[in-house]
Amino acid sequence: MPRLLLLLSAVIALAAPLGAQGRTIKLGDLGLTLSRPSGYTAVPLPPRMEYTVLQLVEGGGSPEGEVSPTLLVHVVVRPVTGVRRGKIVDTKTFLDRFIRPRASKSLRGGAQRYGHKPKRFEIEWEDEGLAYKSFVHGWEGPWRTVIVQGVASPADYDQHRRRWQQVAETMKLENPREDGERAKLERFYAQHRFGDVEYRIDVRLALVDGWKAKDTEHYIILYNESNAGFVDRVGSDLESLRRDLERDLPSEHRSENAATVRLCRDRAEYLAYGGMKTALGYFSPAEEELVLYQQEQSEGADETFQTLYHEAFHQYVYTSAGHLAPHSWFDEGMGEYYAGARLERGRVDSIELLPNSLGFIQYKVARGEHAPLSELIAMEQADYYADAQLHYTQGWSFVYFLRTSSEVRRKGSWAKILPTYFSTLKETHSRELGESTSGVQRVLAGQVARQEALAAAFAGVDLRQLEIAWVRYVQGLKN
């Protein structure tokens, strides 16, 4: 599915209001000024939207499975793949290429403004069982096309169309201005000792109305109306956990790159941003961003922080290994291990058992229904996810065994499995990749690194003996 269509599909179940927002929205770096329709609020765009620059959603959004009236602004300032070089993409070409409507009707466009000619369309399409109807007003200029697009269900369309049209007709289209906000942020960061300043500035400049940012030594945390105590704890816990990770799994990128963490206001906003329905949070390697929402206290606040610690491990290990994900037993097993972290006074005080995971894996082990260790450690992600509950709990218990068992500490080769795997993964990946930026070379380098890391970690280890010891250890654990 085209990425733009994914965005339009995501206008279901959108976020609650982002707080007080001004009626006038200025995108100075693009030279655009427009009015925000009453009752609409700005919502962060799902990642990797190349042409969409703004998303406004009515009210608190609709229940899951319904379409929320949404206003989008797209800007095309250069040719798109497949369009003749040097030709600015017009409105109809954009719609045909990225939305592919099943029905399209051209409307009268109105008067030219700011050197841009208007083009209007009314389009309809369906996706994943939902019907969409859209008003589209394009401003086609000499060097760019600006498209204002209102989207709603057919039942809600007539109620919103006039408001969308007013926004499009009154929009100001000027030349981009010098970015005074960037200069302010440069002065701000000059007074603070944070690394990766250019990245932090770019992240702050991309914030939509109602969103704020908090800097810590290694992170920039984006949040929307989250309570201050929650944001502060997230920042403190991430830094505390990172110190433990840097000690256990040293990284060559210790303080060079800032990691992004986005705290959505609630589940609705999290789902609108692209979150998985089955998880409280996720780490996106493509965006290198950790996304999370805070559960209500009655739902279990501990789960929120268990998810934070798990995903923070993924974020750390991915960047530390040179943008490479380890085998799933290591990646998910270690992530679940750190989910059990208990932090006190700025450090990891202990790693606790996960009661539900322990009960499940003990049940499976007692019946001999666990995966053979030789198979588990070689699994690729698709196979690991095929029986996620079993493999997640088994990977977690295997890592817990390697980290806490006195028998492991007595056997040198077993005690070296985790550090050897990670150090070999990093070193081999760096060696194989060299200075290349080729996507193909990156894939090949990752394959070699994972194979060599696995071979080095379990060199000289009798896997059957190791599995017997792990089973015995798991059976003896008590919550």
The pLDDT, as a whole number, for residue 3 is 24
Longest CA span, the chain: 82
Hey, is 123 helix, strand or coil?
Answer: strand
Whole-number Cα distances in Å, 86 to 79, 116, 193: 7, 18, 44
pLDDT above 60 for 63? no
Helix axes 328-339, 297-320, angle to 10 degrees: 140
The HSE-up count of residue 46 (CA atoms within 13 Å, CB side) is: 19
Confidence of residue 173 (pLDDT cuts 50, 70, 90): very high
CA distance 223 to 211: 6
Decide which of 479 and 426 is more confident: 426
Length reported for the chain? 479
**Which three-class secondary structure state does DSSP give residue 6?**
helix
Q: What angle do CA 428, 429, 434 make, to 5 degrees?
A: 105
Per-domain residue ranges for the chain? 3-173, 178-320, 350-479
Q: Tell me the average pLDDT of the chain.
A: 87
Mean pLDDT of all residues in 432-445: 86
Question: What one-character DSSP code corresponds to residue 416?
Answer: T
Residue 328 is encoded by which pair of tokens? 């799933």
DSSP 163-230: HHHHHHHH-EE-PPPP-HHHHHHHHHHHTS--S-HHHHHHHHHTPPTT-EEEE-SSEEEEESS--HHH
Return the pLDDT at 177.
67
Q: Are 471 and 374 in contact (CB under 8 A)?
A: no
pLDDT number for residue 256: 66
Percent residues over pLDDT 70 in the chain: 88
CATH among 3.90.1150.10, 3.40.30.10, 3.40.1000.10, 3.40.640.10 for 3-173: 3.40.1000.10
Neighbouring CB atoms inside 10 A of 150's CB total 24
Q: Once rounded to an integer, what is the mean pLDDT over residues 293-315? A: 84
Q: Which residue has the higher pLDDT, 82 or 33?
A: 33
pLDDT, tens only, 389-405: 999 999 999 999 999 99
pLDDT band at 78 (very low <50, low <70, confident <90, very high): low
Q: What's the rounded mean pLDDT across residues 352-358?
A: 95
294, burial (CB in 10 Å: exposed 0-12, middle 13-18, buried 19+) = buried
**pLDDT for 365:** 97
- pLDDT value of position 44: 85
Average pLDDT over residues 30-58: 86
Contact indicator for 62, 13 with CB cutoff of 8 Å? yes
Q: Which residues contact 27 (CB under 8 A, 6 or more apart)?
A: 33, 53, 54, 73
**Residue 216 reports pLDDT greater than 90:** yes
Give the per-residue pLDDT at 21: 43
H and E: helices and strands count for the chain: 18, 17
Give yes or no for residue 364 having a pLDDT over 70: yes
Answer whether 139's CB lies under 8 Å from 173's CB: yes
The model carries a pTM of 0.78
Nearest-angstrom CA–CA distance, 401 and 177: 59
**At 341, which helix (H) or strand (E)?**
strand 341-344
Q: What digits encode the pLDDT tens for the residues 314-332?
A: 999 999 998 999 999 999 9
The 10s digit of each residue's pLDDT in 156-169 is 999 999 999 999 99
Mean pLDDT of the region 296-304: 68
More confident residue, 202 or 335: 335
Across 186-191, average pLDDT: 93
Structure confidence at residue 13 (pLDDT): 34
> What residue has token string 């990425």?
3
The predicted structure's pLDDT at residue 11: 39
Predicted confidence (pLDDT) at residue 196 exceeds the cutoff of 80: yes
Average pLDDT on 31-40 reads 91
Would residue 194 be called left, alpha or beta, if left means φ above 0 and alpha means ψ between -120 and 50 degrees? beta
Q: Which CATH architecture has domain 178-320?
A: 3-Layer(aba) Sandwich (3.40)
Q: Is the model more confident about 423 or about 12?
A: 423
Which pLDDT score, from 0 to 100, does residue 50 have? 79
